[in-house]
Amino acid sequence: MLHDVLIVAGDRRVLDRYLDSCRAAVEAARSAPGCLDYARSADPVEPDRVTVYERWTSRAAVQSFRGTGPGDDLSEQIISEQIVSEQIIDADVREFTCSDERRL
């Protein structure tokens, strides 16, 4: 039986260097407890569009990850996060709670 899963999905309009600056955050998220998937992907048609997709076991898992921030081994990420936020031009990202899934 599947318990509720939290999905965060949407897109962002970004400057071209945005994805390179996300690598450490993606690696940290993927190793965080409760993270089932975490991706930032370039759109093949629109060069300034990045698809955002996250799948977590619960809202608590997301909040725990986002509340911890970068650790000592990711101290450079603090500077990188400031750069990342300056590179986002626009965003439409939403949260979905799902209690059922089926393989297609």
Q: What is the CATH number of the domain that holds 73?
A: 3.30.70.100
- The predicted model gives 11-27 an average pLDDT of 78
Structurally, the chain folds into a number of domains equal to 1
Query: Could you tell me which residues are beta bridge partners of residue 97?
Result: 6
Domain range for 73? 5-98
Q: Is the pLDDT of residue 53 over 80?
A: yes
Cβ–Cβ under 8 Å, residues 80 and 18: no
Is the pTM of the predicted complex or chain greater than 0.85? no
Average pLDDT, the chain: 75
SS3 percent helix, strand, coil of the chain, rounded to 5, is: 35, 35, 30
Quick: pLDDT tens for 62-94: 888 888 555 544 445 444 555 555 667 677 777
| pLDDT score at 34 | 93
